[in-house]
Amino acid sequence: MQTLAEHGVPLPIAELAEALDIRPVEREFFERRMFAMERDGQVMRNRRGAYLLPAKADLLRGTVQGHPDGYGFVVTDDEGPDIFLGPNEMREVLHGDRVMVRVAGMDRRGRPEGKLVEVLERANSRIVGRVLVENGVTLVVPENRRISQEILLAPGKAKFKPVAGQVVVVELVEQPTRYAQPVGRIVELLGNYADPGMEIEIALRKHELPFEFSSAAKAQARRLPEKVRKMDWKGREDLTALPLVTIDGETARDFDDAVYCERQGRGFRLVVAIADVSHYVTVGSALDGEAYDRGNSVYFPRRVIPMLPEKLSNGLCSLNPQVERLCMVCDMAISQTGVIKQYRFYPAVMFSKARLTYNQVAAALYDNDASALEVIGELLPHLQNLDKLFRVLLKARAKRGAIDFETQETRMIFDDNGKIAQIVPESRNDAHRLIEECMLAANVCASEFLQAHEHPALYRIHEGPTPEKLAKLREFFGEFGLQLGGGDEPKAADYARLLEKIQGRPDLQLLQTVMLRSLRQAQYSPDNVGHFGLAYDAYTHFTSPIRRYPDLLVHRAIKAVLQGARYVPAQDEGDWEAIGLHCSMTERRADEADRDVENWLKCYYMQDRIGEEFDGSVSAVVPFGLFVALDDVFVEGLVHISDLGSDYFHYDDAHHSLVGERAGERYRLSDRIRVQLVRVNMEASKIDFRLVAGAARPTERVGKTAREKAASEPVSPVPEKSVRRPRATEVVDAGEAPVSAAAPKRKSVAGKGAGDAAKTGKTVKPAKATKSAKPRKRAASGAKKKAKPRV
């Protein structure tokens, strides 16, 4: 590449070989290398067969992102602006393909518009979709709406005879060209669209989630012992007499962590024991490869796709009660002010004394419930010590300046057919937060330990707001007379102080949502830049190795340090940065698949309620309309911009609103409105509403309304026509427009294992909120149903 740059002109391969002093015996290997570089887009050949540098020819490499409406974009590798691809260009590529493009001009919106030069790599070999029979021609419509081309079925005798409406998996035998649609053959018949569990089967294949263990991984799991053997005790401390307990949700089956607390002088001793998965899942083994490919367990409603086989995840590695288990321990001495004075990591053998639930612990500690006290029995003093430590850690958290946002969590209740019967709010009690703080302490110790010994690891990083988002946030809050401190580089404590200042305001939901969306998404990286939301200089995930691969990596790194060695991962040639990118991708992939399943279930739940009216709040404002989250029902859908009234509405990104051009009518984030359900599209997982009444805005009013003034003053002889009649949006009292139907619970941006989560199957994903007002699927996610916060 340097040689091509120095010559400044395209070079035939013979001249390039001569310039590089390639000997005849090396020529074959040189040509192979050049073909590989051409495949990767590092170089390319012109029509005369000469090699040239793409940058010199104004060519850009990138990945195609398709749009359901037929156009797309190329997200360039150099992080420049996205390149628009029109429908004609998109005919020969599919979503995810790697391409080389040339910028050919600007489109009517001022975006750079590209022309395809070459397809470098095809991303789709198998696609899941629905069978469509149209004029005697059988097609498959992809479930991934970003793939807008329909797939023709290859002619000839087929193994399967599909029926219209069935869900199938097709293998592409011909990729699309500018003049022809993609062609495929059916390799798997999944069933009918409304079959129980079909939404999960579709999501697994649509997002390419590994869901079947390889024969090698299954064989390795079968060879593992059924219980801890005496030979496994070697080099481990005996903690079997310590009254460690697990505290999780009622539906949890994999228990990563157990805790114990005792008074130590004026402070506390906290023991956090974590399942020692690394003892059974060895580096480079078949189980290790499977765990890496999955990256994490995926928690769907009523079904889990585990990272490890059930023998490990629910058996040998799960800290089940009344059995011996191998564990890695973080043993901490914590002062009365919540400062971790000392800590020690060591492998051990433990014996869990009880499997407790959050509700049981909360009932015993805070409600003196007789039945809960009876279950807990002699363990109560240890739990009381945990609670005292929790109060101390809460004060330390507040002093540190970690951010606490309020969210509403929900739980789905299913009928016998596996469909939603009801969606109910789920409350988090102090027992959840108690475990969360214990897990945070262990995670911080793990990161400090690895940093102190200069061993590479994956950190859980969370950067502060970008300058652009920070400027928008300051501008928005300035209109409310509020100010975020910290100058150009605010800290978490500045966010926390502002959040405390707006508590009790009727527009709390609006202000908090805007704050949340100014933050970036947390991810995994070997470059420690700290965790903004939790206000930690260093933070790792250590406490959930059963369900997260990064935690397993941290365990191996800690063990290596204890043994005076250095751990090098088997994957990606030991490249920690590549491994971090992979783990961040698998986390997002799982979130997207889970969201797809929830959206479909909620559409199914709402399809029989068309015509009903609901009250709700504007949860997102986008250029094409308003997303509305319904009260009590906890479902979200779209009010299209065309249904807002007979006016031209313009999107105001800075103020998160749509503003009418003629009448000045404004719809803003968190506004209270009433809508009617008019359409449910099961195929696209979209819910559409019609505006019935809006917008009730608690922050609109200042002082008395004109109507109230007129009522309180003496009747004057002024003619009625001279008194302007106020619009409905101006006369709404703050007391008439509560922010939400149910008061949300105080919620941390951490969690148990992020802190690590309550294992009720709930996931809180604050990182998702960082994409300010971007279009998303119309089926509401509402609040998520699993309590495994991701931070």
- pLDDT tier, 789 (very low <50, low <70, confident <90, very high otherwise): very low
Contact 764, 751 (CB under 8 A): yes
Q: What is the pLDDT of residue 745?
A: 40
pLDDT of residue 583 exceeding 80 = yes
- pLDDT tier, 56 (very low <50, low <70, confident <90, very high otherwise): low
Contact 698, 737 (CB under 8 A): yes
pLDDT of residue 791 exceeding 60 = no
Contact 756, 249 (CB under 8 A): no
> Which of 33-37, 302-306, 707-711 has the highest mean predicted lDDT (pLDDT)?
302-306
Contact 423, 411 (CB under 8 A): yes
Contact 613, 639 (CB under 8 A): no
Q: What is the pLDDT of residue 51?
A: 84
649 exposure class (CB count in 10 Å sphere: 0-12, 13-18, 19+): buried
124 exposure class (CB count in 10 Å sphere: 0-12, 13-18, 19+): buried
Here the tokens at position 212 are: 């079947």
- pLDDT tier, 425 (very low <50, low <70, confident <90, very high otherwise): confident
> 3-state SS of 269-307?
EEEEEEECHHHCCCCCCHHHHHHHHHCECEEECCEEECC
Contact 629, 782 (CB under 8 A): yes
pLDDT 10s digits, 316-368:
999 999 999 999 999 999 999 999 999 999 999 999 999 999 999 999 999 99
Q: What is the pLDDT of residue 696?
A: 59
Q: What is the pLDDT of residue 697?
A: 54
Which of 108-112, 253-257, 528-532, 574-578 shows the lowest per-residue confidence on average (mean pLDDT)?
108-112
DSSP, collapsed to helix, strand or coil, labels residue 337 as coil
144 vs 746 pLDDT, higher one: 144
Q: Which CA distances in Å does 767 have to 327, 458, 763?
A: 30, 18, 11
Strand partners, 444: none
Q: What is the pLDDT of residue 181?
A: 92
Torsional sign, CA 782, 788, 789, 791:
negative
Phi (first) and psi of residue 613, to 5 degrees: -105, 145
pLDDT 10s digits, 603-617:
999 999 999 999 999
Q: What is the pLDDT of residue 338?
A: 94
- pLDDT above 70 as % of the chain: 87
Q: Which CA distances in Å does 130 have to 139, 162, 189, 213, 577?
A: 8, 10, 10, 26, 38
pLDDT 10s digits, 433-460:
999 999 999 999 999 999 999 999 999 9
Q: What is the pLDDT of residue 178?
A: 87
What is the arithmetic mean of pLDDT over 83-93?
92
Strand partners, 621: 626
Q: What is the pLDDT of residue 703?
A: 38
What is the arithmetic mean of pLDDT over 78-92?
88
Q: What is the pLDDT of residue 107?
A: 79
Q: What is the pLDDT of residue 690?
A: 93
Average pLDDT, the chain: 84
Q: What is the pLDDT of residue 326?
A: 97
Q: Which CA distances in Å does 378 have to 106, 243, 249, 382, 616?
A: 73, 10, 21, 8, 47
pLDDT of residue 66 exceeding 90 = yes
pLDDT 10s digits, 199-217:
999 999 999 999 999 999 9
Contact 773, 517 (CB under 8 A): yes
Contacts of 416 (CB under 8 A, 6+ apart): none
- pLDDT tier, 725 (very low <50, low <70, confident <90, very high otherwise): very low
- pLDDT tier, 47 (very low <50, low <70, confident <90, very high otherwise): low
Contact 425, 634 (CB under 8 A): yes
751 vs 281 pLDDT, higher one: 281
pLDDT of residue 10 exceeding 60 = yes
How far apart are the C-alpha atoms of 440 and 302, rounded to whole Å?
28
What is the arithmetic mean of pLDDT over 644-670?
88
Contact 748, 433 (CB under 8 A): yes
Q: What is the pLDDT of residue 155?
A: 80
